Amino acid sequence: MSGNAEEGIARVQLAQKDGLSKRHKRGAANLDDRTSTALLALAFLGLIVVWATASSPLIIYGSFAAAMLVTVLFGVIRIKRIQQVRKQRELQAKEAQSKSVK
C-alpha cells in the first residue's frame, strides 16, 4: 500500500464519529503488547542470569517450571488478544459494508 493510500485511510478514520478515540485505543493496545514483550525479554535475561549463577537444583528447576508457566500464560493471553482484534476487524468490516450499501 502506498503512503498516500495509508494517509487517506487515516484521514477517513479520523473524520468518522469517535474515529480519533478509537484510533488512540488501538494504539494504546499496541503499546501494551510491545511493553509486555519487552518485559518478557527482560525476564528471560534475568532467568539466564539465575541459571548461570544458581548452584541449587531447586532454584534451577523451579525457575525452569516458572518460565514454562509464564510462557504458556503469555501465549494464552496473546491468543485471546488476537481473537479480540479479529472480532473488532469483523465488526469494522460489517459496518463498512452496511455503510457502502446505503
C-alpha distances out from residue 67 to 25, 41, 81, Å: 31, 12, 21
Q: Which is more confidently placed, 11 or 19?
A: 11
Given this model, what pLDDT does residue 20 score? 60
Q: What is the pLDDT of residues 43-88, one digit of tens each?
A: 889 989 998 999 999 999 999 999 899 889 888 988 998 898 899 8
Cell numbers given for 87: 472480532
- 22 — pLDDT class (breaks 50, 70, 90): low
pTM of the model: 0.55
Cβ-in-10-Å burial (0-12, 13-18, 19+) of 30 comes to: exposed
Mean pLDDT of 16-28: 66
